[in-house]
Structure 1
Amino acid sequence: MASTVYNSVLFRNMFGTPEMRDIFSDDALVGRYIQVECALARAQARMGAIPKDAADAIAEAAKTIVPDMDRMRDETENVGYPILPVVHQLSEAAGAAGGYVHWGATTQDIMDSATALQVRDALGVVRRDLLELRGILVALAQKHRDTPMAGRTHLQQALPTTFGNKVAVWLSSVDRHVVRVDQLLPRVALGQFSGASGTLASIGEGGLQMQALLCEELDLGQPAMCWHVARDGLAEVVSVLGLITGSLAKIATDVMIMSSIEFGEVAEPFVHGRGASSTMPQKRNPISSEMMLAGAKLVRQHVAAMMDAMIHDFERATGPWHVEWAVIPEAFLLTGAGLSHAKFMLSGLSVDTDRMRQNLDLTHGLIVAEAVMMAAAPTMGRQEAHDIVYRACRTALEEKRLLADILCDNHEIVAALGGKAKVRATCAPEAYLGLSGPMVDRAIASLSA
C-alpha cells in the first residue's frame, strides 16, 4: 500500500512521471551501486591492483545477479546503509572473485557515485523537457507577437502590452534554466572514490590514477578533491530545480488568474472531464497550473532542506547525508511533473484574443492615460499634462465616460496633440504597445543553443 503521493496509484503521475520514477526506483538505484562496483573492479584490474579474471567474474556476476530485495532491505535497516548488503550479494554471485568486490572503497564512495549517475540522467530529462517547453513558448510568442492585451501591475490594469510579450518573458526564464543546467552538469557529474576519511589511504600510491580510471569507466568527471562532506554540488542541483519550478509556478499563476471567469483570456486545454467539479457542472478548473504551483511549493522546501544538509561534521557526516536520500529523488520527481504539466498545458492553451481586447476597454480608456500625457508633454510640459489627464481620469471614473470623449472636450489637450482625431488615435490601446513586438523578436533571436 502506497504511503506517499510519489508512489500512490492515485497521485503518482500528478507528482512525478514514470520516466523520472524509473531513474530513482529501487531497482535502478541498486543497479547503479552494482555498476559502480563493477567499474571500480575494472579500473583496478587495468592498474593491476586486482586480477583481471576477478574483474571479469565480478562483471559477469553483475549481469546475472537477481538481487534479493527483501534480504537487502533487512540488512540495510540493520546496517544503516545499503552498500554492505549489495557487496554481500555481489560477492556471493562472483564466487572466488568476490573477495575483490569493493576493494579499497568506502560506502559513501559507491553511493555518491551512484547518485552522480542518477543526477546526470535526471538532469538530462529536465534539459530535454526544458527545450521542448522552450519550443512551445517560442511558437506561442510568435503567434501572439502583436495580440494586444492589458498589462497589469499590482493586479490593476497598467498599460497595454501583447500576449506575445508576456509569453516571451516566460520564455526568457526557461531559456536561462537550459543554460543553468548546462553549466551545472560538469560540477555535479563527478565520481567519488576517496576511501574512509577521504585520503585514499587504503590504496596508497596510484590511488588518484585509480580514481581517474573509475571516473573514466563511469563517464563521470574526476573531482579535484573528495566531496564526501562538500555537498554544494548537490545543493546546487536542488536549488536549480527550485528555480525551474519557481518559473513554472509564475507561468501557472498567470494562467490561473487569466483563466478566471472575470478575466476569461485563456483556458487550459479541454479534455472531457478534466478539472470537473463533483457538484458544479460548469466548472473547468486549471488542474495543470494548480499542480505546477503545488510542486514549486514543495521543491522550495526541499531547497531549504538541502541547504541545511550541507552542514556536515568533519570528514564524514553524522546525519545530514541521509536528508539527500529523500530530498533529491522527490525534487526531481516534482520538477519532472511540473515540466510535463507545463508542456501539456501550454501546447494546447486556448487564447481568447477577443476577450483580451474587450478587457482593454474595461476602464473606458484609462489604460492609455500615460500615452496621452506623454504625447502632450512636449508642448505643455510633463507636470501640467499629467495634472490635466489625471483630472480627466477622475471624471471618466465618476461619470463612467470614455477618457477620449472627456479629453476631446479639453482644448489644451486637443491643441497639444493637434486635433480631436489625434486625441482619439492616441487613446487607442493598439497604438501604445511600445516595443512589445521587437522585444519578442529579440528574446527569440537571443535564445541559447
Structure 2
Amino acid sequence: MTKTGTALTPETLFARETLWQSWLDVEAALAEVQADMGTIPQWAARDIRAAAKLETIGAAALEADIRKTLAPVMSLTRLLGKAAGKAGDYVHWGATTQNVMQTGRILLIREADRAIRGEIARAMRRLASLAEDHAGTVMAGRTNRQHALPITFGFKVAGWIEEMGRAVERLDDGGKRLFSLPFGGAVGAMHAFGPDGRELNRRLAAKLDLRELLVPGRTINDIFADYIVQHCLMAMTVERIMAEAYLLMTEEIGELSETLDAGTVGSSTMPHKVNPKFVVRVLAEAAELRGLAASAMETGRSSHEGDAATNQLLSSVLDRAVPLSWRMTRGFADTLHRIRVDPDAMMRNAELSGGVIATENLMMRLAPKTGRASAHDLVHHVLAEASAGGATRAEELLKNDTISKYLPAEEIRAALMPAAYCGDSRDIALKAAVMARDLAGKLDGETN
C-alpha cells in the first residue's frame, strides 16, 4: 500500500504518481528525523508531513514544473515547500536528488517484494498439494528426452519445489543487500549534515526500516543489479517448470492439461483444438525477465561518485524487471492451480517401452550372480536382438535361457513392474510437500 492507501499493482508500481508520492514520503521522513535531532523545528516537520501528499501539491502542477526544470526532485521540493508554508524553508535540508529518488524506489520495490513473496507462497502451497496427492502416481522419468527409469509425478514436483526454495534463498540474500538507505548527500560522505551526518543516516534508516550503508553514495547500482539478477534466476526456474509442464501437455504425451473456464475458445480455426492458454503467458514473461540479467549488470558500471547515464539505465531496467517478476509469479501460481494431472496417461506412457522401463532393476538382481557389467550386457543384448514383431520386449527377457538360469519367471516379471521400481520417489515427494508448506508459511509471515 502507498501512503495514500492505494493498493499497488504491477502496472502502478513505478507509475509517475506512485514514484512522486514515494519521494514525498522520503522528504517527510527526513524532516521528522531532523526535527527529532534538533536540526529543524518540530513544527516544520509536522507541516512538511501534512503537505507531503501528491493531491496537496498537485500532480498537474508538478508535471508542468518538471517540463520546465527537467529536475523532478527540484520541482517536487519546490511545490512541497510552497504547500508547507513557512515550513517550506526546511524542505530537502541537506539532501540531494539521487538520495530521494533511490530511497523512494527501494521503498516501492520492498512493497512489490512482499507481493511477489505472497504469490510464491501461493505457488508453493499448490506444489505441496501436487507432490502429496501424486506421491505414488507412476510416470516415466525422462533423460535426454527419452524414457529413463520410472518415477512418480510427486517426485518430479519435489524437484520443482526444492529448486524454487533455492530461488527464494537467493531473493532473500538480494533483498538483504538492496533494502539499504542510500542517503549520503551529494557524493555519499554526508557533507551538508556536518557532524550529525552518521547519526542522521542511522536514524533515517531505522525509521524507514532499511539497513545502514557505510558509504551511502550514488553509485550503489550493484545492489540493484544483484537484486534484479536474483529475479532473473528465479525466472529461469519458473521457465524450466512451466516449459516441462507445457511439454507434458503435448497431445502425444497428454499427462498434464490446463483447466479452462467455460466459454474459453481453444483455436479460432480448428474447433476440436484446445490450446494451453496460461502456461504460455508465464513462459513468455519468464523468458523476458531472464533476458534482463545482462542489462542489469550493465548498470553497475558507474563511474566515480555519481553517474547519471547508468542511473537512467538502472531506472529503465527496474521499471521492467520488478513489475514483470510480480506478473510472472502471479501467473505461475494461477497456472499451477489450473494444472490437471492424468495418472492413466502417465502409466500408459511408462509402459510404452514394452514393459522394460525398469530393466535396471532386473540388471541389479542379476548382478550378484553374474557381475554388474555382465548383467548389463546380457539384458542389453537381449533387448537389442528382440524381434520387431510378435513377442514383447519383456517376453523376450522372460524366455531368454541365460536370464532364466539365474532368476525364476516370477522374479523377472516383478523386476520389470514400473510401480515397484520408483526408488525413493514417494518418500521424497512427501518430504518435499512438507518443505513447500513450511516455505509458504515463512513467506506468508513475511508478507503480513
Q: Return the TM-score normalized by structure 2.
A: 0.91
Q: CA separation of 1:319/1:350 partners in 2, compared to 1, >3 Å: closer, same or farther?
A: same
Give the counterpart letter for 2:255 in structure 1.
Answer: E
| 1:294 positional shift | 1.0
1:442 aligns with 2:431: yes
Give the counterpart letter for 1:434 in structure 2.
Answer: G
1:327 aligns with 2:314: no
Residue 244 of structure 1 corresponds to which residue in structure 2? 234
Give the counterpart letter for 1:205 in structure 2.
Answer: P
Residue 94 of structure 1 corresponds to which residue in structure 2? 84
Q: Aligned equivalents of 2:54 and 2:290: distance in 1? A: 41
Deviations 1:121-175 (A, max 9, x none): 1111111111121111011100000100011111111111100001111111222
Q: Aligned equivalents of 1:400 and 1:72: distance in 2? A: 83
**One of 175, 193, 202 as aligned partner of 1:203:** 193
**One of 407, 418, 422 as aligned partner of 2:411:** 422
**One of 102, 118, 121 as aligned partner of 1:131:** 121
| 1:26 positional shift | 2.1
1:264 aligns with 2:254: yes
Q: Aligned equivalents of 1:110 and 1:250: distance in 2? A: 38
Judge which range, 389-398 or 87-96, deviates more. Answer: 389-398
Does structure 2 retain, via aligned residues, the 8 Å contact 1:376–1:416? Answer: yes
Does structure 2 retain, via aligned residues, the 8 Å contact 1:116–1:188? Answer: yes
Residue 403 of structure 1 corresponds to which residue in structure 2? 393
Q: CA separation of 1:235/1:275 partners in 2, compared to 1, >3 Å: closer, same or farther?
A: farther
Residue 3 of structure 2 corresponds to which residue in structure 1? none
Provide the secondary structure at the position in 1 that maps to 2:47: helix
Matches within 5 A, 1:5-404: 19-63=9-53, 65-77=55-67, 79-274=69-264, 276-396=266-386, 398-399=388-389, 401-404=391-394
Q: Aligned equivalents of 2:412 and 2:211: distance in 1? A: 66
Q: Aligned equivalents of 2:424 and 2:224: distance in 1? A: 41
Q: Aligned equivalents of 1:18 and 1:318: distance in 2? A: 28
Provide the secondary structure at the position in 2 that maps to 1:152: strand
Provide the secondary structure at the position in 2 that maps to 1:160: strand
Does structure 1 retain, via aligned residues, the 8 Å contact 2:17–2:54? Answer: no
Q: CA separation of 1:77/1:63 partners in 2, compared to 1, >3 Å: closer, same or farther?
A: closer
Provide the secondary structure at the position in 1 that maps to 2:230: helix
| 1:78 positional shift | 5.2
Does structure 1 retain, via aligned residues, the 8 Å contact 2:131–2:155? Answer: yes
Q: Aligned equivalents of 2:343 and 2:271: distance in 1? A: 26
Q: Aligned equivalents of 1:64 and 1:346: distance in 2? A: 39
Q: Compare relative contact order (CA 8 Å, sep 6+) and give the higher one, 1 or 2.
A: 2
Does structure 1 retain, via aligned residues, the 8 Å contact 2:150–2:422? Answer: yes
Judge which range, 53-62 or 106-115, deviates more. Answer: 53-62
Number of residue pairs matched by the alignment = 432
Judge which range, 314-323 or 59-68, deviates more. Answer: 59-68
| 1:61 positional shift | 1.1
Provide the secondary structure at the position in 1 that maps to 2:150: strand
Does structure 1 retain, via aligned residues, the 8 Å contact 2:181–2:216? Answer: no
Residue 10 of structure 1 corresponds to which residue in structure 2? none
Q: Aligned equivalents of 1:280 and 1:146: distance in 2? A: 36
Q: Report sequence identity in percent.
A: 32
Does structure 1 retain, via aligned residues, the 8 Å contact 2:289–2:321? Answer: yes
Q: Aligned equivalents of 2:239 and 2:68: distance in 1? A: 41
Give the counterpart letter for 1:442 in structure 2.
Answer: K
Residue 433 of structure 1 corresponds to which residue in structure 2? 422
Residue 7 of structure 1 corresponds to which residue in structure 2? none
Does structure 1 retain, via aligned residues, the 8 Å contact 2:136–2:153? Answer: yes
Does structure 2 retain, via aligned residues, the 8 Å contact 1:269–1:345? Answer: no
Judge which range, 75-84 or 402-411, deviates more. Answer: 75-84
Does structure 1 retain, via aligned residues, the 8 Å contact 2:10–2:324? Answer: no
Deviations 1:178-221 (A, max 9, x none): 33333333321112221111111111111111112222222222
Does structure 2 retain, via aligned residues, the 8 Å contact 1:245–1:292? Answer: no
Provide the secondary structure at the position in 1 that maps to 2:259: coil
Residue 445 of structure 2 corresponds to which residue in structure 1? none
Provide the secondary structure at the position in 2 that maps to 1:433: coil
Does structure 2 retain, via aligned residues, the 8 Å contact 1:130–1:177? Answer: no
- Structural RMSD (CA): 2.0
Q: Aligned equivalents of 2:356 and 2:335: distance in 1? A: 33
Q: CA separation of 1:39/1:397 partners in 2, compared to 1, >3 Å: closer, same or farther?
A: farther
| 1:312 positional shift | 0.3
Q: Return the TM-score normalized by structure 1.
A: 0.91
Provide the secondary structure at the position in 2 that maps to 1:319: helix
Provide the secondary structure at the position in 2 that maps to 1:202: helix
Judge which range, 238-247 or 161-170, deviates more. Answer: 238-247
Give the counterpart letter for 1:209 in structure 2.
Answer: E
| 1:25 positional shift | 2.5
Does structure 1 retain, via aligned residues, the 8 Å contact 2:51–2:57? Answer: no
Structure 1, unaligned runs of 5 or more: 1-16
Provide the secondary structure at the position in 2 that maps to 1:277: coil
Q: Aligned equivalents of 1:356 and 1:67: distance in 2? A: 62
Deviations 1:218-244 (A, max 9, x none): 222222222421222111211111122
Residue 6 of structure 1 corresponds to which residue in structure 2? none
| 1:400 positional shift | 6.3
